[in-house]
């Protein structure tokens, strides 16, 4: 791994550009990079537990899948990228002496102005590293509020790809913040639940764990995948079906999953209280099971 040509830096954020790690204040990106101009890029967010990147290979395999879905090519093979990012995470984690998050991004590269992507022939990779910040404990103790938001998402051709064009999600989260909510639940044009702006949404109803089907969930998350696998051990039957906001409001429990949130309980949907208005027993069990899973993952990686 290439390292910066500075002996030390107090920077709290580091960036790897084409494998070269530098303090964020020294990071430069061409204004003709299509990721900057058009959001023509794909990305993944990874976090560490006790310095160990969680499911890094799975995240970067999904990055490669997203690139393929958007007719983009990774600059280096997935195996090489995993090795490179893992080494950079160790370097930055040691510098910052804490757990970190890494946003791994691949753009189509530089090209002439205009939407035609054919002029961009050399994809570029960037990784942004920063200190991991835990969410407020009271969000897990009391749950959070979410609101629904109807919007349009990428075409079927790019469905499931984690692209960086987040304008619709930015407008959705602004709507949620205006209403004092933590997250916006994105709906299809005909009112079906898809996901949160940066999360997946699941519900517990009559002992079943409900989730929007993968074909309707534009980005099935890595954390969601683990939670669905853990559900069987808790006696929960996973049911993938179309959901509407009314289904969430009527559920016994609702929660969000994501890399940063892990398993975050929801107390209300569109102002309707969920269950007793506090995190339900299955949500708490799944949250504990997920944390046990991450601990076992770190222990296995250390062997």
Give 3-state DSSP helix, strand, coil % of the chain, rounded to 5.
Answer: 35, 30, 35
For residue 7, pLDDT beyond 50: no
> Averaged over 280-290, what is the pLDDT?
97
Total-model pTM: 0.91
In the chain, beta strands by DSSP E: 13-17, 20-23, 41-49, 52-53, 100-107, 124-131, 144-150, 183-187, 193-196, 200-205, 208-211, 237-240, 253-258, 262-269, 272-273
Q: Is there a single domain that holds both residue 293 and residue 209?
A: yes
Q: Is there a single domain that holds both residue 153 and residue 203?
A: yes
> Averaged over 93-113, what is the pLDDT?
95
Q: Is there a single domain that holds both residue 145 and residue 265?
A: yes
pLDDT of residue 6: 47
The parent domain of residue 65 ranges over 13-131
The verdict on residue 165 lying in a domain is yes
Q: Is there a single domain that holds both residue 109 and residue 183?
A: no
Q: How confident is the model at residue 194 (pLDDT cuts 50, 70, 90)?
A: very high
For residue 232, pLDDT beyond 70: yes
Distances (CA, A) of 138 to 60, 131, 223: 32, 21, 21
Candidate ranges 153-162, 227-236, 257-266; pick with highest mean pLDDT = 257-266
The crossing angle, in degrees rounded to 10, of helices 56-69 and 222-231 is: 120
Which position has the token pair 């079943």?
208
Q: Is there a single domain that holds both residue 89 and residue 154?
A: no
Q: Is there a single domain that holds both residue 78 and residue 29?
A: yes
Q: Is there a single domain that holds both residue 58 and residue 160?
A: no
Domain boundary among 82, 104, 131: 131
For residue 134, pLDDT beyond 90: yes
> Averaged over 223-246, what is the pLDDT?
95
**Using one digit for the tens of pLDDT, what is the confidence trace for 247-276?**
999 999 999 999 999 999 999 999 999 999
Q: Is there a single domain that holds both residue 122 and residue 164?
A: no
The verdict on residue 6 lying in a domain is no
pLDDT of residue 2: 55
For residue 160, pLDDT beyond 60: no
Count structural domains, the chain.
2
Q: Is there a single domain that holds both residue 70 and residue 91?
A: yes
Q: How confident is the model at residue 154 (pLDDT cuts 50, 70, 90)?
A: low
pLDDT of residue 188: 87
Q: Look up the CATH number of the domain holding residue 204.
A: 3.20.10.10
Q: Is there a single domain that holds both residue 113 and residue 143?
A: no
Q: Is there a single domain that holds both residue 158 and residue 230?
A: yes
Distance (Å, whole) CA 194 – CA 215: 9
Q: What is the mean pLDDT of the chain?
A: 91
The verdict on residue 3 lying in a domain is no
Domain boundary among 105, 131, 157: 131
For residue 216, pLDDT beyond 90: no
**Using one digit for the tens of pLDDT, what is the confidence trace for 166-191?**
788 899 999 999 999 999 999 988 89
Domain boundary among 91, 115, 131: 131
Distance (Å, whole) CA 237 – CA 222: 19
pLDDT of residue 252: 97
């Amino acid at each position: 791994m290439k390292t910066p040509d500075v002996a030390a830096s107090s920077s709290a954020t580091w960036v790897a550009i084409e494998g070269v790690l530098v303090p964020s204040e020294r990071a430069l990106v061409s204004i003709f990079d299509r990721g900057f101009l058009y959001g023509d890029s794909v990305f993944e967010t990874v976090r560490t537990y006790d310095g160990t990147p969680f499911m890094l290979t799975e995240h970067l395999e999904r990055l490669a899948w997203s690139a393929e879905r958007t007719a983009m090519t990774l600059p280096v093979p997935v195996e090489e990228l995993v090795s490179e990012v893992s080494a950079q995470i160790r370097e930055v984690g040691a510098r910052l002496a804490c757990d970190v998050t890494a946003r791994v991004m691949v753009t189509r590269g530089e090209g002439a102005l205009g939407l035609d992507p054919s002029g961009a022939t050399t994809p570029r990779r960037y990784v942004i590293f920063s200190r991991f910040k835990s969410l407020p404990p009271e969000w897990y103790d009391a749950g959070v509020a979410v609101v629904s938001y109807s919007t349009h998402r990428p075409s079927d051709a790019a469905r499931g790809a984690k692209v960086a064009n987040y304008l619709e999600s930015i407008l959705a989260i602004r709507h949620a913040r205006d209403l004092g909510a933590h997250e916006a639940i994105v709906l299809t044009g005909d009112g079906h639940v898809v996901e949160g702006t940066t999360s997946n949404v699941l519900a517990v109803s009559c002992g079943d764990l409900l989730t929007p089907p993968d074909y309707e969930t534009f980005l099935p998350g890595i954390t969601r995948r683990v939670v669905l696998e853990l559900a069987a051990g808790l006696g929960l039957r996973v049911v993938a079906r179309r959901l509407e906001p009314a289904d969430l409001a009527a559920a016994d429990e609702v929660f969000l999953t994501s890399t940063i949130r892990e398993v975050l309980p929801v107390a209300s949907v569109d102002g309707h209280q969920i269950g007793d208005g506090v995190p339900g027993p299955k949500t708490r069990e799944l949250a504990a099971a997920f944390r046990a899973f991450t601990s076992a993952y770190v222990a296995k990686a250390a062997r």
